[in-house]
Amino acid sequence: MKSENLKKWGTMMKLKMENIGKVSHASIDINGITVVAGENNLGKSTISKALYSVVDGLSNYEDEIIAQRLQLVFQKLKESMRGIRIRRYSLFDCIDAIEFKIGEELEINTNPRGRRIGKYRELVTVQDMSEVVKKFEEGGELDKDDIELIFEKILNLLDESRKIYISEDEIFENIDIPELLDNVNEIMSAPKNKILMRLLSNHFNKEFQNQVNNIYDKNLKAKVGLIVKDKSVNIDITENKVTKISDNPENLWVNVEYIDNPFILDDIPSRMIERNRYSLYHGTKLIYDLQKGISDNAIEGYILDEKFQEIEDELLKIVKGNLKSADMYVGLSENDSDQIIDIKNVSAGLKIFIIIKTLFENKSLEENGILILDEPEIHLHPDWQVKLAKIIVLIQKIFKMHILLNTHSPYFINAIEVYSDLYNIENNFYLAEQTDKGTMFVNVNKNVDKIYKKMLKPFQDLENIDERER
């Protein structure tokens, strides 16, 4: 199923936007490597954030809807039991454990306290709850018998785990079952599109810090459209909320990585975090994916396919080691040393290569996936800009990824051009232009010199000053 969906991405993709942030209008083809160039503070990152929000928001969204349904129902169960005189953490941990086990049956992870409830998980069985599990999956309403079965599970778990005895009568004396059923079934019967709009709103607001709509005129309706091959999804956003979405949009199965800050490595905790929510800010998701490569055995024994060796060879010329976890920090373990260098002591320029190498080796970079790079050259000497450009082109060539690249470096753009020609990679070039209504992005595929002219103008200005001084 997943591989079949991924194959759909090996073709044309287009992102359309109106009135998002500083961007008044954009229509961006994202095939091969798409370069978005322009001066600072014109909204290049807005393109990146919008693409990440819509793709990650639609990636496996049906499971996300089930997860939301399960979370909200069990939250209502907790609220209904607040009046019961028992140590609340014991009661709530048991409820969380049952929620977790139902999620496990549905192959989703919803519980935010997975580590804390570990001791309860083994005591829970849900084999006799197949009808309840099915209703969570399909959205059918729960009845009184379903609720009583869940409460019975909670009671049994309390008795077995803590030797805390509480009768069923005591529970039902404190709970208004008809009211609880009304609240629960309002969640269970909510239309999928309504839930999806809420989820997408969360995605956009996390990326845009609750400033999604046009910053110059917040009353303008924002629109985002994504076209993949012959399928499209259109989203309307008003006052930072998704208010309309195409019926039954494609359930995407594609991984998207968004790299915009090499110092994200400094924020990686020494202990593995659990990905408890489907909806994550791109930096949090990146930390999660990077951590998959931080263990004694995650990279060790990894056998590279022959077709990947060229990328590995280029990365090893720059990064001669792997991320490792020490007692209190994460660092770089170099191949010829037993020492682990605290990642905070590693140069900013090297960090971007470490991030790409780690994602490459732990297989977070997927064939036909999406890679968003926001000014990756910013801390690099021109020589390393050229090396990074070659690696990016090789990644596109071998993985057939859709790569969106924002930059304002003429060296970097030229290196992307040269290596793309060498490896026969398709490119698209866009230039940001300021208008009185916001930023527009112009396709300059037929005249890339417009980008160089804009980027090199400061050098020309300096030369003019120098000539006048003479």
> Is residue 156 over pLDDT 60?
yes
Domain boundaries, the chain: 16-59+252-469, 63-188
Helix, strand, coil percentages, rounded to 5, for the chain: 50, 20, 35
- One-letter amino acid at 154 equals I
- β pairing state of 231-238 and 241-245: antiparallel
Percentage of the chain lying above the pLDDT 70 cut? 85
Maximum CA pair distance of the chain? 96
pLDDT for 115 beyond 60: no
Q: How many CA atoms lie within 13 A of 223 on its CB side?
A: 12
- pLDDT tens figures, 414-447: 999 999 999 999 999 999 999 888 899 999 999 9
Q: Could you tell me the pLDDT band of residue 347, with boundaries at 50, 70 and 90?
A: very high
Min mean pLDDT across 82-86, 266-270, 390-394 is at 82-86
Q: What is the mean pLDDT of residues 245-254?
A: 84
Q: What is the mean pLDDT of residues 2-29?
A: 78
| pTM for the whole structure | 0.87
**For residue 278, is pLDDT > 70?**
no
Cα 198 from chain centroid (whole Å):
16
List the structure tokens of 53: 């929000």
User: Which band of pLDDT confidence, cut at 50, 70 and 90, is reported for residue 126?
Assistant: confident
Residue with tokens 């009304």: 182
Of 139-153, 187-201, 275-289, the one with minimum mean pLDDT is 275-289
Structure confidence at residue 470 (pLDDT): 61
Q: Specify whether the CB–CB gap between 15 and 51 falls below 8 A.
A: yes
Q: What count of Cα atoms within 13 Å lies in the side-chain half-sphere of residue 220? A: 20
Give 295's pLDDT tier (boundaries 50, 70, 90): very low
Q: Is the pLDDT of residue 363 over 80?
A: yes
Concatenated DSSP letters of 58-102: HBTHHHHHHHHHHHHHHHHHHHHTTTS-S-HHHHHHHHHHHHHHH
Residue 408 pLDDT > 80: yes
What's the distance, CA 374 to chain centroid? Answer: 15
Beta bridge partners of 333: 322, 340
Average pLDDT, the chain: 85
Q: Packing angle between helix 282-291 and helix 44-58, nearest 10 degrees?
A: 70
Instruction: Give percent of the chain with pLDDT exceeding 90.
Output: 49
Q: Which superfamily, per CATH, for 16-59+252-469?
A: P-loop containing nucleotide triphosphate hydrolases (3.40.50.300)
